[in-house]
Structure 1
Amino acid sequence: MIRHFATPELRDTYQELAAVTVAQRAEEFTQKGRLDRESWREIADAGVWGLAVPTEWGGSGGTWWDFVAAPEGIAAGGRDLGFCLSMVAQAGLIRSILTYGTDEHKAAWLPRLLGGDVGATALTETTGGSDVTRIRTAAVSDGDHYVLNGHKDHITNGPEADVALVLGRVPEAGQQDITLFMIDMHADGVVQGPIEDMMGNRTSPTGPIALDGVRVEARNIVGGIGGGIDAVYNTISLDRLLYGILAAAYLDPLLDEVMEYAQQRHAFKVPIAEHQYVQGRITDAKFAIEATRWVSYGALDALVQDSDQASLMCSVAKYHAGETLKLGTETALRVYGHLGYMEGRHSQALRDALGTLIAGGTAEIQRKNVFNQMQRLGARAA
């Protein structure tokens, strides 16, 4: 049973803010292929990153239910899916620090993230993709430091990030060596970018990060040597359900627009809204939106309650997010017809939506995780 819901007042506040910040600059930054850091700073100044952070670390002492209300509002008011995907990456990083970081980590890194610095979680590499256990980035100890070398690919916020949580190996630790390192992206040996030229979500820049002899203080290892995998799975679980939260919130106003257009546009002497094939497309989108919203709420509840079902539910939410965004934006394009296919916001929305079938773990990876979790839970119940 879901115990809480996103706070409507917070959702409304951030929707209004995003409408006069993110939405006003989205086209400009889509053309530039860059993150809108001005809006990022304004939203940070409004307290978004501290909503789920305890007051002792500079936050407002709320819950993750309070936090998800903000990206819901920003998705609805900002109308920029890419910007929201960059927010997902930042949220996962903050949760990692809160969950696995020491007090020293929280004191050192949270003020920067809450204050408007951009964060990234650098997991994937060319050799492994979604299989993060195949990473080659590695560190060797050097006194009270570790020296980190490697190359990360397709990292959300990578070209823009000020700080990053980097997944690497410590071979000298033995078989269980996958470890998380918190680094300053302005440190010597870190090379960011170039920004990848993507067909959609251009306001959420992705790109490589090269690490050439980067010195990381031992105290900036998060979760201990060999503790990286558990922390990563927790982080990506939050990321996955947030995709579902965003999908529903982003599509709500779009579907409202489609309904209004269908009632105004006439074909065969009646509004096209009276044709069953149009009604079918619109209701299919509505069914998908509501299913995605509520499975994502259920996933968040499972995650904050530390339920055995959490990983499975978060993958279900992520799977539905991509499929629903594709369906919802394609519905808009089909109902608008030629107007929708012309270069503009509806064709852009479909391009952006297609990226969510891949980003954050492909649909196929979500199926694999759900199947593996079903096996695990079944074995436990036997």
Structure 2
Amino acid sequence: MHETHPAYSEAHALYRDTLRRWVADEIAPHVDAWDEAGTFPRELYKRAAEIGLLGLGFPDAYGGIEADRFFIIIGAQELARAGAGGLSASLLSHTIGAPPIVKGGSNALKQAVLPAILAGEKISALAITEPGGGSDVANLTTTAVRDGDKYILNGSKTFITSGMRADYVTVAVRTGGPGRAGVSLLLVPTDAPGFSRTSLDRKMGWWCSDTATLYFDDCRVPAANLLGVENEGFRLIMDNFNSERLWLAAGCNGFAQVCLDEATAYARERHTFGTPLIGHQAIRHKLADMAQRIRATQAYLEQVAWQIDNGDNPIADVCLLKNQATQTMEFCAREGVQIFGGAGYLRGAKVERIYREVRVNAIGGGAEEIMRDLAVRQMGL
């Protein structure tokens, strides 16, 4: 990745090198088999914790590693080098499931669950999307009714990453009236009475990602598991979305870089008409266009990360950045497969898998259309 931002330090470079070696040793040799199998070993969570990947950006009081967002970018992009978005999504599902616990959980709740999550012993997921709607969070229908020292949940969530494996699910529920003012967040242990789940395993991409539909049938959860204030969970959810979108943007540009690297290597090896493929101007222009988009997206990503690290909250730019990154990934995946030709249509090539994983990134964490609309409203247009 082309890095020029002055926020990168020697510590960032050392961590990148360490993580790159770990991905090459622990993930790259196995990821094709894991993707075909539709899963990866649960033990990988513990190994990711040992290398510091799971703890990045979380408080050290719970086993995390205090880090700026440039370390987060490095984590997402080095993991992307394996070329399997499903692995990144499930292995790091706690990056969207656990932050609301940090921000809204009681001290006792945080101490009870976060150390095990950050050590890779327990798995955390986030459940917002419902069968009847995704981005329209203010109109969610899963309910939670207070009953003494419990909440009783009824409803369902779907497309939940790590939904089958998760030990804890951070769930958006309706505790009050209609609209955003009636939304709360609850931490639901998956051994709670009334909780069940079914796997969604026939997906276009993210094959090794554990994805599920969750069901709450009079599911009883301790009232102490409320995150933040009752009926004020909407803000926690929106803040969480912004962090997720930055992480998604970093990963998408990482996957775009993989497409460029793979296409360049293939173009050097493949010969047509008596010359290496890269000797043809049309191919070199494709590689140049890919590099141009990747470098522009990386610069945008690092600028937004720097703004957030310095106390700004550039919501419009986070939304536009997310779209910029998914569109860069889409362009580079398309051009990568095109350069590979028939070989790019066969399973086993990273560009083929990344091509299938474009759409989930353009939808998850806020669809492109929602991102545009939110951005222009933030811009006052």
Distance in 1 of aligned mates of 2:230 and 2:190: 21
Tell me if 1:125 matches 2:130: yes
Conservation of the 8 A alpha-carbon contact between 1:36 and 1:83: no
| 1:356 lines up with 2:361 in the alignment | yes
Aligned partners of 1:53 and 1:63 also within 8 Å:
no
1:312, CA displacement in angstroms?
Answer: 1.4
SS at match of 1:159: coil
SS at 1:289 equivalent = helix
Match of 1:341 among 345, 349, 353: 345
User: Any gaps of 5 or more consecutive residues in structure 2?
Assistant: none
Structure 1 Cα separation of the partners of residues 261 and 91 of structure 2? 25
Alignment match of 1:107 (pick from 111, 126, 143): 111
Decide which of 176, 179, 197 is 2:181's aligned counterpart: 176
Structure 1 CA distance for aligned equivalents of residues 148 and 252 of structure 2: 47
| 1: CA distance, partners of 2:132 / 2:155 | 12
Q: 1:147-186 maps to which residues of 2 (within 5 A)? A: 147-171=152-176, 176-186=181-191
Structure 2 partner of 1:250? 255
Shift of 1:350: 1.0
Confirm or deny: 8 A CA contact 2:252 2:361 kept in the other structure: no
| Letter of the 2:302 counterpart | Y
Shift of 1:8: 1.9
Unaligned runs of 5+ in 1: none
Give how far 1:68 is off. Answer: 3.2
Residue 357 of structure 1 aligns to a residue in which SS? helix
Letter in 1 for 2:100: S
- Alignment CA distance shift 1:24-1:40 (3 Å): farther
Distance in 2 separating the partners of 1:330 and 1:173 = 43
Asked if the contact 1:81–1:352 (Cα under 8 Å) also holds between the matched residues in 2, the reply is: yes
Q: Match of 1:292? A: 297
Residue pairs, 1:1-382, within 5 angstroms: 4-5=7-8, 7-76=12-81, 78-116=82-120, 117-171=122-176, 176-309=181-314, 311-345=315-349, 346-375=351-380
The 1:84/1:223 distance shift into structure 2, 3 A limit, reads same
Q: Distance in 1 between matches of 2:277 and 2:71?
A: 40
In 2: Cα distance, 1:251 partner to 1:36 partner: 26
Give the secondary structure class of the aligned counterpart of 2:217: strand
The SS at the match of 1:24 is: coil
CA deviation map 1:216-267 (0-9, x unaligned): 2222111111121101111111111111111222333432232232233333
* TM-score, normalisation: structure 1: 0.90
SS of the residue 2:199 aligns to: coil
- Deviations 1:278-302 (CA, angstroms, capped at 9, x unpaired): 1221111111212222222223233
Specify the code of the residue in structure 2 equivalent to 1:321: A
Give, in whole Å, the separation in 1 of the partners of 2:305 and 2:105: 21
Deviations 1:342-370 (A, max 9, x none): 33323222112232122222211211111
Q: Distance in 1 between matches of 2:154 and 2:129?
A: 14
What is the CA distance between 1:114 and its match in structure 2?
A: 0.5
Q: How many residues align?
A: 374
SS at match of 2:181: coil
Q: Report the AA paired with residue 239 of structure 1.
A: E
Query: 3-state DSSP class of the match of 1:336?
Result: helix
Identity within the alignment, %: 27
TM-score of the pair, normalised by structure 2: 0.91
Q: Secondary structure at the match of 1:176?
A: helix
Q: Which AA in structure 1 matches 2:353?
A: Q
Contact 2:183/2:234 (<8 A) preserved: yes
